[in-house]
Amino acid sequence: MSRFQRVAVLGSTGSIGESTLDVIARHPERLKVHALSAHSRMERLAEQAAGSGAAVVVVPDEAARRRFQAAWPAGRPAPEIRVGAQALADTAADDGCDTVMAAIVGAAGLPAALGAARAGKRVLLANKEALVAAGGLFMRAVREHGAELLPIDSEHNAIFQCLPHGERAGAPDQPARGVRRLLLTASGGPFRRHDPQDLHEVTPDQACAHPNWSMGRKISVDSATMLNKGLEVIEAHWLFAMPADRIEVLIHPQSVVHSLVEYEDGSVLAQLGQPDMRTPIAYGLGFPDRLASGVGPLDLARCGRLEFETPDLQRFPCLGLAFDALRAGQAACVALNAANEVAVEAFLSGRLRYTWIPRVIMAALEWQQRQSSVTLDSLADVLAFDAEARAYAGNLGLA
């Protein structure tokens, strides 16, 4: 066994990937990069691989391989270049790594995240869409293959930190002993106070201008619509075996309290910190130790006020749709996620108005209800139904 924890960072060129490499670079005595992956930013991938000494990089196709090679600094020994989606899943299961940071955006990250779980790795899960699309399958793989699943989404990481672990928690497929409710906080995004009538003309840049967090564009739009919080409710359901009616969402515009756990005796435990993803990432990399993350102290006196309010489902219809999908079951969750990915992509590329995002999702959920006997017992089943839902959403004439 290596004295280093060897990490594969899947989606290394994204916001979570960059933050992960920043934390790893602070701990050369215990953390080492094994593999990196990217989808379009090959020049950045080459810089990251050269800087971190990665042994392996994974790229999507031959054209990307050539771009990576062209960007590689002359005279330096190059990493092994693996190509394609299967190579991504194989790399997640590779003997060369102990820990996998699953930071690809969207359901595209599911096969690799599942591959890591099936290989019994420490899985740092940022890719919430994997759990939304295949929560049952994923959690079963974690249990059956002895993987160690650590949530990286700041809300779930906060909840994880506030929950009892091991024997004190009870059975893994039941809510932790003594817990009454989970309270997920949400900033409310850039349009928290806007009149919903005024959102018709919203541009991608306005939707991506998050007040507190710096993130990739897809999750930024999801935060604006609050579908992101809906995905997180579904994620919390699977991670913590918690029924929908014991998960509550609270708008907290300052993003200082990252989430809370309410116990049967009335105690409420919360995790607080600056809105910087390096804190949950360092927690996942170091667990059970605490590692320096580069995040500074929280100055509560300077924060002054911490506010909380109940979200308005008229203003944020996507949040209500996610609760509906969770109550309806796994097929509805696949349809919700797939339709959202199609709609957000169309919005970001100027083909769909912002206010049509919930309409596309609603139409896909109605379509899903008309499908009889959908089986989602395997990864192939999930991917096939996900593709059907995407095709439906894409053919609506809206996207």
Ligand X SMILES: NC(=O)c1ccc[n+]([C@@H]2O[C@H](COP(=O)([O-])OP(=O)(O)OC[C@H]3O[C@@H](n4cnc5c(N)ncnc54)[C@H](OP(=O)(O)O)[C@@H]3O)[C@@H](O)[C@H]2O)c1
Residue with smaller CB distance to ligand X, 7 or 374: 7
Residue 259 forms beta bridges with which residues?
Answer: 184, 271
Cα-based distances in Å from 138 to 78, 117, 141, 303, 365: 34, 7, 5, 38, 22
264 vs 50: CA distance, rounded Å: 51
Q: Interacting stretch for ligand X, rule CB under 6 A, among 23-31, 104-112, 298-306, 382-390? A: 104-112
Q: What is the DSSP string of 170-205?
A: --TTSPPTTEEEEEEEE---TTTTS-GGGGGG--HH
Sheet holding 247-251, edge to edge: 247-251, 179-186, 257-263, 268-272
186 in contact with ligand X (CB under 6 A): no
Known binding residue 284? Answer is no
Question: Exposed (0-12), middle (13-18) or buried (19+): which is 5, by Cβ within 10 Å?
Answer: middle
Known binding residue 144? Answer is no
- Do 273 and 212 contact (CB within 8 A), yes or no? no
Alpha carbons within 13 angstroms on the beta-carbon side of residue 391 total: 6
Angle at 219 between CA 245 and CA 172, to 5 degrees: 40
223 vs 143: CA distance, rounded Å: 31
- Do 344 and 357 contact (CB within 8 A), yes or no? yes
Question: What's the min distance (Å) between Cβ of 341 and ligand X?
Answer: 10
Q: Which of 48, 99, 127, 223 binds ligand X (CB under 6 A)?
A: 127
Of all residues in the shown chain, the one whose CB is closest to ligand X is: 14
**Which string of x and - marks every residue 268-287 that binds ligand X (by CB under 6 A)?**
---------x----------
Question: What's the min distance (Å) between Cβ of 243 and ligand X?
Answer: 23
Residue with smaller CB distance to ligand X, 374 or 385: 385
Q: Which of 216, 273, 317, 358 binds ligand X (CB under 6 A)?
A: 216
Residue with smaller CB distance to ligand X, 111 or 374: 111
Residue with smaller CB distance to ligand X, 152 or 162: 152
DSSP 289: S
105 in contact with ligand X (CB under 6 A): yes
Q: Which of 128, 237, 252, 278 binds ligand X (CB under 6 A)?
A: 128
Closest by CA to 134, choosing from 156, 112, 119, is 112
Known binding residue 203? Answer is no
Residue 181 forms beta bridges with which residues?
Answer: 262
258 in contact with ligand X (CB under 6 A): no
Residue with smaller CB distance to ligand X, 38 or 319: 38
Residue with smaller CB distance to ligand X, 68 or 316: 68
Q: Which of 49, 54, 89, 126 binds ligand X (CB under 6 A)?
A: 126
User: Which residues are at the interface with ligand X (CB under 6 A)?
Assistant: 11-17, 38-41, 103-105, 108, 126-129, 153, 213, 215-216, 218-219, 277
Q: Which residues line the annotated binding site for Mn(2+)?
A: 153, 155, 232
Binding residues for 1-deoxy-D-xylulose 5-phosphate: 128, 154-155, 187, 210, 223, 228-229, 232
